[in-house]
Amino acid sequence: MGVKASGSGELDISCLAAGTVSGLVRTLVEFRLAEWGLEKLADDVLLIAGELVANAVRHAPADREIRVRFTREASAVVLAVWDSSDAMPVVRPVVELTLDDVVPDARALEDGHDAGIGGWGLPLVQALSSGCGVRDTEPHGKWVWAKVAT
């Protein structure tokens, strides 16, 4: 894993796609927000970071690199996550949850379990950010990004 921080505080993280990456990225982003005096953004930015990194880990080919960049602009912070998959994000329609959907299920802890109730990540990112999008890269992969106004 590689972590670079520029003089302006920009984070550039390269690592293998693994389940533990999301927590590490959230921790590094939280430290950077504190250094910038932007702790008030932590809840939204950390949720966005967790969702974008989890999606990259889920969709990247096994044991492939993902990258995370976290930068500060004049009136916003930008979090961007790259993975090598050419598949573009798909926002599924949001459906109303019922009590049956939120009852704990022990199978949910098993590797590879998909209860079919996912798909909330990108709508959450859209709701919490002031802008988000995706940009494909050559020869493969894509950057998925979100901007949060300061």
Place of tokens 């990225």: 25
Predicted confidence (pLDDT) at residue 115 exceeds the cutoff of 60:
no
| Strand ranges for the chain from DSSP E | 2-5, 11-16, 65-72, 76-83, 131-136, 142-149
Domains assigned to the chain: 2-103+113-149 (3.30.565.10)
For the segment 64-110, what is each residue's pLDDT rounded down to a tens digit? 899 999 999 999 999 999 999 998 888 777 667 677 766 666 776 67
The Cα 106–Cα 48 span in angstroms is: 26
Percent of the chain at pLDDT > 90 equals: 59
| Residue 70 pLDDT | 98
The tens digit of pLDDT for each residue in 24-50 reads 999 999 999 999 999 999 999 999 999
In this predicted structure, what is the pLDDT of residue 126?
Answer: 93
Residue 116: its pLDDT value, please? 55
- One-letter amino acid at 33 equals L
Give the pLDDT confidence score for residue 79 in this predicted structure: 98
pLDDT for 110 equals 72
pLDDT for res 132? 96
117's tokens? 């109730």
Residue 120 pLDDT greater than 80, yes or no? no
